[in-house]
Structure 1
Amino acid sequence: AATGRVAGARAAAGRALAKVTGQALGPYQSAVVRIGFAGTWLFFLLREFPHRHELYGPDGPWSWELARRLIDSNHAFTVLMWSDSPLWFEIVYALSVLSSALLLLGWRTRATSVLFMAGVLSLQNRSVFMGDGGDNVIHLMAIYLVLTRCAQVWSLDAARARRRGTASAGGAGPALWGVLGAVFAYGSVTGGFSTGWMVAFAALWVLAALWWMVDRYEPAGEGRAVLDVLANLVHNAGMLVIMAEVCLIYATAGWYKIQGSRWQDGTALYYPLGLDYFAPWPGLSALLASSGTLVMLLTYGTVVVQVAFPFTLFNRRIKNVLLALMMLEHAGIAVLLGLPFFSLAMIAADAVFLPTAFLVWLGARAAALRRRSGAPAPEQDADQDRGPGREPGQEPGSGPEREARPGTVGSVA
């Protein structure tokens, strides 16, 4: 009996290893996270475009010299410290907007995710006192997205890979990486990178070049198989880190609330409803604050949901109920407290736990609505990206139709 149990455990471990190395799990979840965070950052940059100079540019209260002193001490990454020229700031801001839009669409995702990360870190590290809490989540997720194969579905990369089938899909990807390499070389020569960031960007560029060479000269060989296994491992590790990050956010927030007297007596919610800064709809805020019972239910409900959520991940039904409640909570924060970008960032992070079956249904409904409106129907996602030849910007598929069964990152977590 003991021998049978050992053999069963080994077989299960072998199946798990084959699953983790053989496919990039959670293709729909990673696509939603990509779209959510790229869209949130894009909308924020466009919304604050008239105020960009005061937020992150030369007219801000946190001057370029103060930012330089802080960067010298904490070694944070920002290309805005390369020059105090207003023209350089405009270029960086414009590229941040462009990279957000391209990542949202899933165009050359591997390269645009690096550009997106550089834009997010550059602007946020330039003025560290700007933001409302959601900026911290965007900051972290911008780094994690670089590790994932987040364009397997619902992206221009996936549609292009299906149309062209095999072989490389043109020279835009290598050209984009060439430009990124030139910028990296300039920053390295001029001392614009700390040692850690220099190593990180060099590794990304070398791996992208290696991937392109293998794709071009040995698309069906062992080299490509090894790169696929490594990419799957990094993707799955990145998705695990994203899920752990969301759980950590809610666990720490919930347990800190339990320890605070303001959350025990309900005033943590009541007081902000009376502040003009957090009252875009004064009448609605006053109506909510006038009901002690409703304030109590929302206060204690928030604490219970946040503390309980990490413990419900292995029970799909309870997890899905709490997930819906948390998303409704963030939607309420956006409306009642006037924090839309914080709420969008948190909803995008929560989306990593959405069930695959629901996301597949949602995609089918969107396709049906497009057909009814007369617009071209989007490409099917189930067997996309087949064909041995892909360049770094194209995300190879891994059979997302298999994700709908229980036991995967998307369906259980």
Structure 2
Amino acid sequence: MTKYIAKELLEKYLQGTCTEEEQAIVESWQLKELEGKNFSAKTVQIETAYQTIWDGISAKAPASPDIELKNNRFRYLAIAAAILIALSAGLFFIQNKLSGGSVAEQLVKTGKDFVPGGNKATLLLADGSRISLTDAANGKLAKQAGMTITKTRDGQLVYNLDAQYIAGPSKARNQMNTISTPRGGQYQVALPDGSKVWLNAESSLKYAVDFNTEIRKVELSGEAYFEVAGKTGPAGSKVPFIVVTDKQEVEVLGTHFNISSYGDEPLTKTTLLEGSVNVLQRSSGNSRLLKPGEQAKVSTAQAAPTVVIPDLESEMAWKNGLFIFREEPIETIIKDLARWYDVDISFEGKPINVSFVGVVSRSKNISSILKILEETGDLHFKVEGRKILIMN
């Protein structure tokens, strides 16, 4: 492919006249790694290529406010840079795409594609019995000491205290339930106090059946988003809500936040959307108070939680049904994919240092994502059963 053809294809994309095949090719350029890779194109060449394309686009495009052009400048620069990188390294795999030779397309043709996860979970009751929420019919599932547990049509687990037990002493105190999602699963729980929890794949939440105490405490492994309801105790004081993980304790009164605490990740991340939370590192006893829009990171290598300003859209993408990658390392991406699609993904040979940018729906089959990653030219895949090998 010549630079002229690449430029022509880019212009068609920006004008909205691309075919679906051409659109997929251009979008794959946008996912190309732009940093940390040895290639012959110098920064000045990228700027020159960008300016050439930009001038052509500006001349043909209808008049629009300057601010809109400035906001789009980086996107066009990124595409132009990606074109130069791909041309200099010989990484346009268009022939492969047009011939239908990619692993992603083979998965579709053979009917062996990996489907996305869904509402799947298991509930462990205080008496040791297990209920598969994946298979159970909607409606009442069980009763525990005056607490009715119900599965709703939209995939929620709801706890309701029976009226005759509200005024009297609770018989459910100290009885614990655990809800667990497998790889390829997610679930939502409405706790007895009205708090809501969304569990991501390969996660578990342990909690008391009765929250009518001086403290509300749950134990989390994996990732969950919390919307904690405010609660007042008998003396009029606010009842705290505490989330315990292997590395930290998070104390709140009423707020919205996300915690990611997977065992195979070095960091536990707490991201605050509303209210305030106190993050206590269990190993050191040091803590940090978060404000909305902040994130605390806790690891055994640090003496105290560190606070950063995260990309909230990316952090909450899983709950909103998306994968959002913003310069995300491939090693992080494959962990997310493995959990959601219940597959094993590993490198054949040495892992490569490459990052990607993109937005993909979690409702798509894995072939849609592999296709995009393949089209960058950096990665190729081989499928063996439920194992995906990454080759470079």
Query: TM bucket by the smaller chain?
Result: under 0.3
Q: Which structure carries more relative contact order (alpha carbon 8 Å, separation 6+)?
A: 1
Question: Is the helix fraction higher in 1 or 2?
Answer: 1
Question: Is the strand fraction higher in 1 or 2?
Answer: 2
Task: Give the structure-2-normalised TM-score.
Answer: 0.23
Task: Give the structure-1-normalised TM-score.
Answer: 0.22
